[in-house]
């Protein structure tokens, strides 16, 4: 009996944590292992200065690997807005290497560079502004970007540049040789010896992981480059990882991994890859913020090592730039499995500059319709039409606002997306109309795996158009997912995406209506029986291997879906699409959530740094499943999660099929009241959220911000991840500890004043403030000197509140002034963009007077059907 | 609290226009509160917190903390709006539903400025409600009558059970006495039986000893002849040495000293002295006429295997014994009987028995005694069985009586009944006070959705919900459980089943047993009017 018990216990434990053995370590990923075996200091690369070509827009220069004589082509661009782009590819690759398309919104505009100096050791280029220069050292090759006497950033300073050139397989070569005349053999052989052809290492031409084998017909193709940030010991970014905001030193452990994966029950504080990947790292110190955007969609590993001593040995030309004092330094090394090196160095210098620079490359957050900023009620699964109705009525009965009810996979007819279960969801339009009558909306799931079933027209069409991803042998690639055997449409193919988008037309997607929106899950893509629960790397997307495109697949799914929703309304209505997988640029297509978390306090806590990291790299519309997806939350945890979620950008409760029901009113009147209050606080602040999202759309600045973004010279803020700012004016410190009796919040800014938004109590900045809490507490502070707009008439959905009056909360600075913005439009169409129909005003308060001036043109039709607005105000006294 | 530098100034910016004011009483005020809203007199918030000029009532700006100054606008977060709903029931709605574009009051009065096109549906609703009420009243009336019958039947049944129980109690007493009497009879009959059997056994044992001694003697003679190789009438040391199995120091051979030792310190013995020697060697001695085979002593593993085999062969009979255990219980008092039921036990090596004859049959006298004892045993057992039977019956009745069948036992008719509902996929079965189960319609095994737990209705009437718990477990989830919701109906039927949450089932069940007195129903419905 005892051994049996032990075995059961083991099974239970096993079922509750990620099975790490399903996912590769660096050691198990042959290119990562090969690359990581190289140690710093002996770069074989040399710049061939005589190959320099300088034009108005770029310079090119060849590099040579002295070990194998393979030549690379370096392209250097000065980009508009204080950015530098460095591209390195093989000069003459055997076949083209993948360059990631569709991420950059335009061909980035360039600015001229000038050659300042040149000798046999290198050359110096002027970047035009602020005495910024690029110093190219020839032997070994390295790049230093300097500003005046300061080195901002160095490339290949540790000599870890590696470019595994494409090559013919050895046995293929010898095969050819035997069929040629003997005399040629010698010359070929001697040539080969001259270039000291590297020996094949294990895993170069084939690799197996568990039962899966990767055929690697193109052989090794990985790339690597190192970057050094002198004077920096805080770096951020490279989501998605369930870890701290500030990136960790990876010496002695695995690097951060970027490889979109469906990780079952992911672990916290672990650098394993998760569902999405944005290859952007942001460096920060009190003087400067910078970024590196590594544009590569293949499996990528990032090593970070920081040191506090100025150990870097600079070249002769660098002698003048650095004193001998001890300075921190962070080294970052990127390793990708294929593609080319295409790096954007975002030179800041402020955090907002970096956001603007990155936004100019990859675009900004899609401006969501107002209702999507409301509360979303989701569950796997609402059982049927009646269930949906009951839940909808539950919100009214308990007077809790709600904008969206969601349907997970069970709503379909046998997991055939774009269909409805004929019994449980017969007449979906009746259901949608019922919600529309309440001014509520619905989201249905549409995943990218398609049931292989000759009776399913979506499958038949994709097959007949040959839109499926193919195996290495050219057959339709099939894998196991929710519907059983499934095909995976090739979303990298623009024709496929156009076809997919057309399927969301109202006459194509039967049962859909204008208040139905879409959720793309499993788009890593998830393949239950594939290597690491995803697609085989040798599967083919046209002529490219899955290896090349893996991390961008999910972006394309959301892009195609989002375009479908725009098209179905003739380009009038803003779309809403939630995605689990993402890549650089995904912000343009909708919202992201942190995937399948669990009902644990640790998961509530980690939702903050996870969303903050996403915000730093452009993805503002982020949230975590409120309550936790797996497992059953305690009532306390559920309430705390609602309170935290109400102050995070994407606010959706979700639950696993096997958990008990947890609609907000199922935990007794006291808890219902607590949840109601949290959701009401969210709705009252919707005008502020809307304005923040408009700002994100315009500027690329995150909605939910790490404190250091607004207080970049205040080192105390650099590692804070249990509180954050909304915009720059609201500071939120949610309660994320079980049984908490108080929290300690850091109020930043010497000379700032912070007002408790619930009590209007005043606190000084630059202090740690202990705040006693009860179950109803959500510590939130408004910055003195700010004006925040609210709508205090909280109704059952955001749409019901569209015409309600605004209440401006004017928090005075010590000087008795305040300022803010207000943004109003029709809340759901593109008319703000196309017709410039919106109000955007700057508000300021001084001398006891509120005034406003135009930030942008108002078109009167915003207020169509309304009388002339009546302005009046009364002064509240405190 | 105020300092001259205002910390926070809240400024309302109204986009919608001011509300029109009703003539008779301000919009949204119920008749019952009309007297508090007197036109042209200052208005005091209903919580008494503040007094304001009357033109601030329904001016779309919240002045009173209790929301009472804005009964007809959405300005106060905690306000409520009264719809008269002529033709239907008057009701209050939260003021956040005023002019939100959604028709809440059937008389359309909540949407006076939103552009929502509402139709007055009060008359229709009133009619519908009337119909529903009437139908419900009918059902309730009939159901309530049925309930009275059920109560009467329950009473009868209860009385029946009670008298049955009394009867059984009496029965039990009689039976207990009978059992005791028969036990004495049995024991009296068993004493002579036991003595006679023992006697018989003893005689047989003695006889066996004689036979064994004779056999031994014969064997000894035979061995002497065998050992006496030179036929000189003596067994000598050298002759003994040919029998290696007689080795005493385990070196595989019999040395002279050893042989001498065996012979009692002399060089040879005659037939008479051999008797003593034989006693020393007979256990080891191997007859020369026997085929030469490894001595059993040398191969303990094989022997233990054989024993194990024997053991396993014994298992079926062990099982039989176990199956009969219950019946055998009373026989535990008579171990000797067990013994002679199965004479060859494992403990006696079968080899030895081969030569021994079976025990001779009992003599007539003993057999008569045995038969008499057996009859007494049978009678005793029968009476015990009867007593157990009565006990069981009593337990069942007591168990049934112990259930809470409602204040008037109106639910008792559901006991030991089952009700089924067939859906597109499953057949659901509710056996009240016992269990709920689910079986796939097209084959497959039954799943337990919970066994009877408790009544789980609200405090004022716990008999509206039944809870069945601890059903089959769910993967990563709880054990299945079912809540049965009881509503008044003429028939006793399972109306629907659903699984609102994973592994938590809900069953709707109608029964007359929950039908309330018709008057009570109507007054409770009217009670709702006032909200």
> pLDDT tens-digit profile of A651-672?
999 999 988 899 999 999 999 9
Answer yes or no: is pLDDT of A869 > 80. Answer: no
Q: How confident is the model at residue B364 (pLDDT cuts 50, 70, 90)?
A: confident
Answer yes or no: is pLDDT of A5 > 80. Answer: no
Angle, CA of A877, B1 and B2, to the nearest 5°: 45
Q: Convert the pLDDT of each residue in A390-426 to its tens digit.
A: 999 999 999 999 999 999 999 999 999 999 999 999 9
Interchain CB distance below 8 Å, A793 and B96? yes
Q: What is the pLDDT of residue A294?
A: 98
Q: Are A611 and A648 in contact (CB under 8 A)?
A: yes
- Alpha helix ranges (H) inside A438-502: 457-464, 494-502
Q: What is the pLDDT of residue A173?
A: 54
**Which of A355-364, A773-782, B243-252, B459-468 shows the lowest per-residue confidence on average (mean pLDDT)?**
B243-252
Answer yes or no: is pLDDT of B335 > 60. Answer: no
Q: Give the Cα separation of B497 and B510 in Å (integer).
A: 12
Q: What is the secondary structure of A8-73 as a DSSP string?
A: HHHHHHHHHS--GGGS--GGGSHHHHHHHHS-TT---EEEEEEEEEE-SSEEEEEEEETTT--EEE
Interface test with A, best of B2, B4, B11 (most A CBs within 10 A): B11
**Which of A378-387, B1-10, B454-463, B483-492 shows the lowest per-residue confidence on average (mean pLDDT)?**
B1-10
Answer yes or no: is pLDDT of A612 > 60. Answer: yes
Q: Convert the pLDDT of each residue in A807-819 to its tens digit.
A: 999 999 999 999 9
For residue B77, the chain A residues in CB contact (below 8 A) are 680, 792-794
For tokens 């699964």, name the residue: A381
User: How many Å lie between the alpha carbon of B255 and the closest alpha carbon of chain A?
Assistant: 56
Sequence-ordered list of residues with C-beta below 8 angstroms from that of B349, at least 6 positions apart, any chain: none
Those of residues 62-121 in B touching chain A at CB distance below 8 A are 74-75, 77, 94, 96-97, 100-102, 114-115
Q: How confident is the model at residue B291 (pLDDT cuts 50, 70, 90)?
A: low
What average pLDDT score do residues A825-846 get?
A: 94
Q: How confident is the model at residue A583 (pLDDT cuts 50, 70, 90)?
A: very high
What average pLDDT score do residues B290-300 get?
A: 47
Those of residues 427-466 in A touching chain B at CB distance below 8 A are 437-439
Angle, CA of A657, A660 and A662, to the nearest 5°: 100
Q: Does B12 touch chain A (CB under 8 A)?
A: yes
Sequence-ordered list of residues with C-beta below 8 angstroms from that of A312, at least 6 positions apart, any chain: A154, A157, A228, A230, A322, A329
Q: Does B18 touch chain A (CB under 8 A)?
A: yes
**Which of A523-537, A543-557, B65-79, B254-268 shows the lowest per-residue confidence on average (mean pLDDT)?**
B254-268
Distances A17 to A12, A14, A255, B502 between C-alpha atoms, Å:
9, 6, 21, 22
B447 exposure class (CB count in 10 Å sphere: 0-12, 13-18, 19+): middle
Q: What is the pLDDT of residue B323?
A: 41
Which 8-state DSSP code applies to residue B298?
G
Q: Convert the pLDDT of each residue in A679-695 to its tens digit.
A: 999 999 999 999 999 99
Q: What is the pLDDT of residue B221?
A: 84
Answer yes or no: is pLDDT of A723 > 90. Answer: yes
Q: Give the Cα separation of A575 and A577 in Å (integer).
A: 7
- Alpha helix ranges (H) inside A294-427: 351-362, 385-397
What average pLDDT score do residues B73-90 get?
A: 94
Q: Give the Cα separation of A113 and A135 in Å (integer).
A: 12
Task: Order across the sheet with A818-824: list the strands.
Answer: A849-856, A839-846, A818-824, A786-790, A806-811, B8-13
Q: What share of chain B is helix, strand, coil (3-state, %, to 5)?
A: 50, 15, 35
Q: Give the Cα separation of A368 and A372 in Å (integer).
A: 7
Interchain CB distance below 8 Å, A799 and B10? no
Interchain CB distance below 8 Å, A805 and B12? yes
Stated pTM of the model: 0.81
Q: Give the Cα separation of B388 and A724 in Å (integer).
A: 75
CB-nearest partner of A661 from B11, B14, B500: B500
Q: Does A254 qualify as catalytic in the annotation?
A: no
Interchain CB distance below 8 Å, B476 and A760? no
Q: What is the pLDDT of residue A640?
A: 98
For tokens 């004892």, name the residue: B373
Interchain CB distance below 8 Å, B16 and A805? yes
Q: Are B72 and B27 in contact (CB under 8 A)?
A: yes
Q: Are A355 and A702 in contact (CB under 8 A)?
A: yes
Answer yes or no: is pLDDT of A216 > 50. Answer: yes
Nearest to A60 by CA among A113, A16, A121: A113
Q: What is the pLDDT of residue A800?
A: 96
For residue B101, the chain A residues in CB contact (below 8 A) are 439, 799-800
Q: Does A741 touch chain B (CB under 8 A)?
A: no
B275-299 exposure pattern, b = at least 16 Cβ within 10 A, e = fewer: eebbeebeeebeeeeeeeeeeeeee
Q: What is the pLDDT of residue B522?
A: 58
Interchain CB distance below 8 Å, A796 and B1? no
Q: What is the pLDDT of residue B357?
A: 65
Choice between B502 and A635, residue whose per-residue pLDDT is larger: A635
Q: What is the pLDDT of residue A626?
A: 98
For residue B2, the chain A residues in CB contact (below 8 A) are 877-878
What average pLDDT score do residues B119-137 get?
A: 93
What average pLDDT score do residues B369-381 get?
A: 90
Q: How confident is the model at residue B100 (pLDDT cuts 50, 70, 90)?
A: very high
Q: Is B403 left (phi over 0), alpha (psi -120 to 50) or beta?
A: beta
CB-nearest partner of A809 from B8, B94, B503: B8
Sequence-ordered list of residues with C-beta below 8 angstroms from that of B434, at least 6 positions apart, any chain: B416, B418, B451, B452
Interchain CB distance below 8 Å, A805 and B477? no
User: How many CB pairs below 8 Å do chains A and B form together?
Assistant: 137
Is the peptide bond between A140 and the residue preceding it cis, with omega within 30 degrees of 0? yes
Choice between A327 and A384, residue whose per-residue pLDDT is larger: A384
Q: Give the Cα separation of A675 and A346 in Å (integer).
A: 42
Q: Give the Cα separation of A319 and A144 in Å (integer).
A: 12
Choice between A170 and A292, residue whose per-residue pLDDT is larger: A292
User: What ipTM does the predicted assembly reach?
Assistant: 0.86
Q: Give the Cα separation of A497 and B24 in Å (integer).
A: 63
Q: Work out the widest C-alpha separation in chain B, in whole angstroms.
A: 155
Answer yes or no: is pLDDT of A7 > 60. Answer: no
Nearest to A127 by CA among A179, A182, A81: A81
Q: What is the secondary structure of B94-136 as a DSSP string?
A: EGGGTTSSS--STTSTT-SSS-------HHHHHHHHHHHHHHH
Q: Work out the widest C-alpha separation in chain A, in whole angstroms.
A: 100
Q: How confident is the model at residue B476 (pLDDT cuts 50, 70, 90)?
A: low
Those of residues 462-521 in B touching chain A at CB distance below 8 A are 474-478, 498-504
Q: How confident is the model at residue B20 (pLDDT cuts 50, 70, 90)?
A: very low
Mean per-residue pLDDT over chain A, rounded:
91
For tokens 């022997």, name the residue: B303
């Amino acid at each position: 009996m005892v051994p049996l018990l032990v075995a059961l216990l083991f099974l239970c434990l096993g079922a509750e944590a990620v099975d790490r053995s399903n996912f590769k370590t660096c050691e198990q990923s042959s290119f990562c292992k090969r690359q990581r075996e190289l140690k710093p200091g002996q770069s074989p690369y040399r710049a061939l200065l005589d190959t320099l070509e300088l034009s108005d827009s770029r310079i090119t220069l060849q590099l040579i690997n002295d070990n194998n004589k393979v030549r690379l082509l370096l392209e250097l661009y000065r980009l508009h807005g204080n950015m530098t782009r460095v591209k390195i590819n093989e000069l003459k690759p055997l076949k083209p290497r993948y360059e990631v398309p569709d991420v950059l919104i335009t061909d980035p505009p360039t600015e001229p560079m000038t050659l300042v100096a040149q000798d046999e050791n290198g050359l110096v280029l002027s970047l035009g502004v602020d005495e910024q220069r690029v110093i190219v050292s020839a032997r070994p090759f390295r790049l230093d970007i300097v500003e005046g006497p300061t080195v901002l950033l160095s490339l290949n300073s540790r000599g870890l540049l590696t470019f595994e050139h494409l090559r013919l397989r050895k046995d293929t070569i010898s095969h050819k040789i035997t069929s040629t005349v003997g005399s040629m053999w010698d010359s070929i052989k001697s040539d080969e010896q001259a270039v000291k052809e590297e020996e094949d290492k294990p895993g170069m031409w084939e690799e197996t992981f568990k039962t899966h084998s990767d055929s690697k017909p193109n052989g090794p193709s990985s790339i690597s480059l190192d970057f050094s940030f002198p004077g920096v010991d805080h770096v951020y970014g490279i989501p998605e990882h369930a870890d701290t905001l500030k990136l960790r030193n990876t010496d002695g452990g695995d690097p951060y991994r970027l490889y979109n994966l469906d990780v079952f029950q992911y672990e916290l504080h672990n650098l394993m890859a998760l569902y999405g990947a944005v290859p952007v790292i942001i460096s920060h110190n009190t003087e400067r913020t910078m970024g590196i955007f590594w544009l590569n969609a293949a499996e990528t590993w990032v090593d970070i090592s920081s040191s506090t001593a100025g150990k870097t040995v600079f070249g002769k030309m660098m002698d003048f730039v650095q004193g001998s004092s001890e300075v921190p330094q962070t080294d970052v090394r990127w390793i990708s499995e294929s593609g080319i090196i295409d790096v954007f160095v975002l030179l800041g210098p402020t955090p907002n500059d970096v956001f603007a620079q990155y936004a100019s490359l990859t675009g900004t957050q899609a401006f969501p319709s107002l209702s999507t900023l409301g509360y979303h009620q989701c569950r796997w699964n609402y059982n049927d039409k009646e269930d949906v109705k009951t839940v909808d009525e539950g919100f009214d009965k308990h007077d809790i606002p709600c904008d969206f009810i969601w349907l997970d996979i069970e709503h379909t007819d046998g997991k055939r997306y774009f269909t409805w279960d004929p019994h449980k969801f017969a007449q979906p339009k009746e259901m949608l109309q019922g919600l529309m009558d309440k001014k509520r909306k619905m989201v249905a799931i549409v995943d990218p795996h398609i049931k292989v079933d000759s009776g399913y027209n979506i499958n038949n069409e994709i097959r007949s158009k040959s839109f499926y991803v193919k195996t290495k042998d050219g057959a339709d690639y099939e894998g196991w997912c929710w519907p059983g055997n499934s095909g995976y449409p090739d979303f990298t193919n623009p024709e496929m995406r156009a076809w997919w988008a057309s399927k969301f037309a109202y006459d194509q997607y039967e049962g859909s209506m204008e208040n139905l929106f879409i959720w793309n899950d499993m788009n890593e893509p998830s393949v239950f029986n594939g290597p690491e629960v995803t697609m085989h790397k040798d599967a083919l997307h046209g002529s490219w291997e899955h290896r090349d495109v893996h991390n961008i697949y999910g972006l394309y799914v959301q892009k195609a879906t989002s375009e479908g929703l725009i098209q179905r309304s003739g380009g009038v209505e803003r779309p809403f699409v939630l995605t689990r997988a993402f890549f650089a640029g995904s912000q343009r297509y909708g919202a992201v959530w942190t995937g399948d978390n669990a009902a644990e306090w640790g998961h509530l806590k980690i939702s903050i740094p996870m969303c903050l990291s996403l915000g730093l790299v452009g993805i503002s519309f982020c949230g975590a499943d409120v309550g936790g997806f797996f497992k059953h939350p305690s009532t306390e945890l559920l309430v705390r999660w609602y309170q935290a979620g109400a102050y995070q950008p994407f606010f959706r409760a979700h639950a696993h099929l096997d958990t008990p029901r947890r609609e907000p009113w199922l935990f007794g009147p006291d808890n219902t009241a607590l949840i109601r209050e949290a959701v009401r606080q969210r709705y009252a602040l919707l005008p502020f959220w809307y304005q923040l999202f408009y700002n994100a759309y315009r500027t690329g600045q995150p909605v939910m911000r790490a404190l250091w973004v607004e207080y970049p010279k205040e080192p105390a803020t650099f590692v804070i991840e249990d509180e954050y700012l909304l915009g720059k004016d609201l500071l939120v410190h949610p309660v994320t500890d079980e049984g908490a009796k108080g929290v300690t919040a850091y109020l930043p800014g010497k000379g700032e004043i912070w007002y408790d938004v619930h009590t209007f109590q005043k606190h000084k900045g630059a202090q740690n403030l202990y705040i006693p809490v009860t179950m109803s507490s959500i510590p939130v502070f408004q910055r003195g000197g700010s004006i925040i707009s609210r709508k205090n008439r909280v109704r059952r959905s955001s749409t019901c509140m569209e015409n309600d009056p605004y209440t401006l909360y004017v928090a005075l600075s010590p000087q008795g002034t305040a300022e803010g913005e207000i943004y109003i439009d029709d809340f759901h169409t593109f008319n703000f963009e196309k017709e410039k129909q919106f109000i955007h005003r700057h508000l300021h308060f001084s001398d006891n007077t509120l005034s406003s001036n135009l930030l942008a043109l108002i078109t009167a039709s915003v207020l169509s059907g309304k009388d002339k607005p009546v302005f009046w105000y009364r002064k509240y006294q405190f | 609290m105020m300092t001259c530098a205002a910390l926070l100034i809240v400024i309302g910016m109204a986009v919608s226009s001011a509300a029109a004011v009703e003539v008779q009483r301000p919009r949204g005020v119920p008749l019952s509160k009309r007297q508090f809203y007197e036109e042209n007199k200052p208005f005091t918030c209903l919580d008494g917190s503040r007094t304001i000029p009357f033109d601030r009532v329904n001016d779309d700006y919240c002045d009173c903390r209790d929301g009472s100054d804005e009964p007809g606008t959405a300005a106060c977060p905690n306000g409520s709006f009264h719809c008269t709903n002529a033709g239907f029931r008057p009701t209050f709605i939260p003021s956040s539903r005023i002019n939100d574009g959604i028709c809440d009051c059937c008389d359309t009065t909540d949407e006076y400025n939103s552009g929502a096109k509402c139709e007055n549906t009060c008359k229709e609703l009133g009619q519908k409600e009337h119909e529903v009420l009437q139908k419900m009243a009918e059902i309730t009336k009939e159901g309530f009558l049925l309930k009275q019958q059920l109560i009467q039947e329950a009473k009868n049944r209860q009385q029946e059970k009670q008298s049955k129980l009394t009867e059984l109690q009496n029965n039990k007493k009689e039976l207990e006495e009978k059992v005791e009497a028969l036990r004495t009879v049995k024991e009296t009959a068993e004493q002579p039986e036991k003595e006679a059997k023992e006697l018989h056994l003893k005689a047989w044992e003695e006889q066996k000893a004689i036979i064994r001694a004779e056999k031994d003697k014969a064997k000894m003679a035979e061995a002497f002849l065998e050992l006496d190789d030179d036929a000189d009438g003596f067994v000598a040391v050298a002759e003994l040495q040919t029998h290696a199995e007689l080795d005493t120091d385990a070196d595989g051979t019999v040395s002279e000293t050893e042989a001498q030792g065996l012979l009692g310190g002399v060089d040879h013995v005659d037939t008479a002295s051999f008797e003593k020697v034989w006693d020393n060697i007979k256990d080891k001695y191997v007859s020369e006429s026997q085929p030469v085979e490894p001595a059993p002593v040398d191969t303990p593993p094989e022997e233990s295997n054989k024993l194990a085999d024997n053991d396993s062969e014994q298992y079926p009979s062990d099982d039989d014994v176990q199956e009969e255990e219950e019946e055998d219980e009373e026989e535990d008092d008579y171990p000797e009987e067990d013994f002679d039921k199965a004479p060859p036990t494992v403990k006696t090596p079968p080899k030895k028995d081969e030569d021994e004859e079976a025990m001779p049959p009992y003599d007539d006298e003993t057999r008569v005694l045995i038969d008499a004892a057996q009859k007494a045993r049978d009678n005793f057992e029968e009476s015990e069985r009867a007593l157990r039977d009565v006990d069981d019956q009593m337990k069942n009745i007591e168990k049934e009586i112990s259930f809470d069948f409602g204040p008037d036992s109106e639910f008792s008719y559901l006991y030991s009944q089952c009700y089924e509902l067939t859906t597109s996929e499953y057949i659901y079965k509710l056996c009240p006070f016992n269990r709920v189960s689910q079986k796939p319609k097209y084959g497959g095994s039954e799943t337990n959705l919970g066994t009877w737990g408790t009544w789980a209705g609200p405090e004022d009437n716990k008999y509206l919900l039944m809870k069945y718990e601890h059903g089959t477990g769910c993967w990563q989830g709880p054990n299945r459980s079912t809540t049965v919701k009881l509503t008044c109906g003429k028939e006793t039927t399972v109306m629907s089943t659903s699984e609102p949450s994973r592994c938590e089932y809900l069953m709707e069940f109608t029964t007359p047993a929950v039908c309330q007195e018709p008057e009570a129903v109507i007054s409770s419905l009217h009670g709702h009017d006032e909200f």
